[in-house]
Amino acid sequence: MFTKCGDVFHGYISTGVRTKKDFYFGEIEYLFGIRFMPGATCLFFRDPIREIVERPVYMEDLFAEGDSLLSHLAVTSSFKERVAAATRFLRAARLPEDGQSKLLAYCTKRLYQTRGNGKLSALAEDTGYTDRYIRNLFTDYIGISPKAFCQMLRLQYVLLLLAAHPHMNLEAAAAFAGYDDLSHMNRDCRRYMGCSSRQIRAQDFCQRGPKDGSIMFPC
């Protein structure tokens, strides 16, 4: 995430959150961000990120050349130029893939394919690694356990369902998402969103694009 106040840019890295959270960056004029798929941080720095989950840190604390990017952003004049500068920086900073990054990419892809209904034991059987190794890999490079990751994926699918079908029966949404029943879905809603599924639908947590009907989630 990048903020602008006057001619000064600051860069922050947030490795994810375990619950719905508001971030405060002080008085700023402008903010934009780049969102990565879960686990992508291991392509940029090898150190575990579990210690900075839910705690944004200054970009230059993790990237040695972070100051250089901020200097480039300071002389840009448009959003397009800022995105281009950040993209060039990240492409140059990307590390070669190693065994851990490939394993994590495979596991997250499989869980996305099951919409959060995959099993850790199945990942272990597919890859030949132990449950414990995969669990530690998720905690180190995503900041949460595979179980929590699956719970968030199921909840994201519920949000998509309710956004696309505003009048869908909540019990049906729970079944489509793979929950045993509505109470289990509401438990995850309260854990990660701080409210029930009925409140999520009433408050319309998603933002709809004015032209193409795209749906964006502030979580």
CA dihedral in degrees (182, 213, 17, 177; nearest 10)?
30
How does DSSP assign the chain, residue by residue?
-EEEETTEEEEEE----SS-------S-SEEE-----TTGGGGT--S--GGGTT--EEHHHH-TTHHHHHHHHHT--SHHHHHHHHHHHHHHHPPPP-HHHHHHHHHHHHHHHTTT---HHHHHHHHS--HHHHHHHHHHHTSS-HHHHHHHHHHHHHHHHHHH-TT--HHHHHHHHT-SSHHHHHHHHHHHHSS-HHHHHHHT-SEE-TTT--EE---
Triad 39, 81, 218: Cα angle to 5°: 45
Please give the backbone phi and psi of residue 126, each rounded to the nearest 5 degrees, phi first. Answer: -65, -40
- CB-based contact 154:178 (threshold 8 Å): yes
Q: What is the pLDDT of residue 84?
A: 92
Question: Given this model, what pLDDT does residue 14 score?
Answer: 77
Say if CB 189 and CB 154 are below 8 A apart.
no
Instruction: Measure the CA–CA gap between 39 and 149, rounded to whole angstroms.
Output: 11
pLDDT of 40: 84
Q: What is the pLDDT of residue 219?
A: 37
Please give the structure tokens belonging to residue 49.
């990120």
> pLDDT tens, position by position, for the chain (219 residues)?
888 888 888 888 877 666 666 667 777 888 888 888 888 888 887 778 877 777 778 888 888 788 888 998 888 888 899 889 988 998 998 999 999 999 999 999 999 999 999 999 999 999 999 999 999 999 988 888 999 999 999 999 999 898 888 889 999 999 999 999 999 999 999 988 888 888 888 776 555 444 444 434 443
The predicted structure's pLDDT at residue 7: 80
**According to the model, what pLDDT value does residue 77 have?**
87
